[in-house]
Amino acid sequence: MKYVAIGASDTVGVGASDPAKGSWPALVAARLPAGSPPYTNLGVSGSLALQAVTQQLPGAIAQKPTLVSVWLAVNDLNATIDPASFADSIGQIVDGLVQKTTATIFIGNVPDLRTVPAYVEVDKTRLFAGIQAYNNAITAIAARYPDRVKVVDLFTGSAALVSTATVSQDGFHPSDEGYRLIADRFVNAMRANGIPLKA
């Protein structure tokens, strides 16, 4: 099983004590079936979804993956990218993967970030509205391809993902424990959709 991860700094593993092994995609990859080729992490710190269309999508397609994770949203949210523009960019990534690979695609949505320290001075009502708009967009894009694209729900019950124990010292990125919880969400979704990951 060839696994490719598309994303931003959290996909890279910023905030983990050992990003190469402690990012959530690395933790997912550690559970791939025996004999799977090494996974490819294409994440770029700071990436917006639109940038990933040109910087990460072509590389992902070239890998001929059978499993792809996509988690891109928070940087767009922070940059106040209009939800329709965000949806267009994510849609291009998903469309490209569906049309040019055989992969099953797992796309993460946005956790409830209102209690994350980095957002302490942000208008919470506006932030929550943005999160909901982005998550609605992600759900709608996945619904185009119900057999190929699955949403990994990071929003429901996300308090554990954004607690003081799961956010790193920078007040924004996940800690080692946070990455473990995120990986578990992806792993559980993958297993529920027939991906034979190890325990």
128-167: pLDDT as tens digits: 999 999 999 999 999 999 999 999 999 998 887 777 668 7
Number of domains in the chain: 1
Task: Give the domain CATH number at 124.
Answer: 3.40.50.1110
pLDDT beyond 90 at 58: yes
Residue 19 belongs to some domain of the structure = yes
pLDDT beyond 80 at 50: yes
pLDDT beyond 90 at 81: yes
For every residue of the chain, which 3-state class applies, written as one string?
CCEEEEECHHHHCCCCCCHHHHCHHHHHHCCCCCCCCCCEECCCCCCCHHHHHHHCHHHHHHCCCCEEEEECCHHHHHCCCCHHHHHHHHHHHHHHHHHHCCCEEEEECCCCHHHCHHHCCCCHHHHHHHHHHHHHHHHHHHCCCCCCEEEECCCCCHHHHHCCCCECCCCCCECHHHHHHHHHHHHHHHHHCCCCCCC
30-43: pLDDT as tens digits: 999 999 999 999 99
CA distance 135 to 155: 9
What average pLDDT does the segment 82-103 reach?
A: 98
pLDDT band of 91, cuts 50, 70, 90: very high
Q: Does the predicted model carry a pTM greater than 0.75?
A: yes
pLDDT beyond 80 at 68: yes
3-37: pLDDT as tens digits: 999 999 999 999 999 999 999 999 999 999 999 99
| CB-CB neighbours of 153 under 10 Å | 17
Average pLDDT over all residues of the chain: 94
Name the pairing type of β-strands 149-152 and 104-108: parallel
Residue 169, both tokens: 């010292």
Residue 187 belongs to some domain of the structure = yes
Residue 86 belongs to some domain of the structure = yes
Residue 197 belongs to some domain of the structure = no
Residue 198 belongs to some domain of the structure = no
CA distance 89 to 112: 22
Residue 143 belongs to some domain of the structure = yes
Domain membership of residue 50 as a residue range:
3-192
What average pLDDT does the segment 183-196 reach?
A: 97
CB 19 within 8 A of CB 48: no
Residue 165 belongs to some domain of the structure = yes
Name the pairing type of β-strands 104-108 and 3-7: unpaired
CB 93 within 8 A of CB 53: yes
pLDDT of residue 62: 98
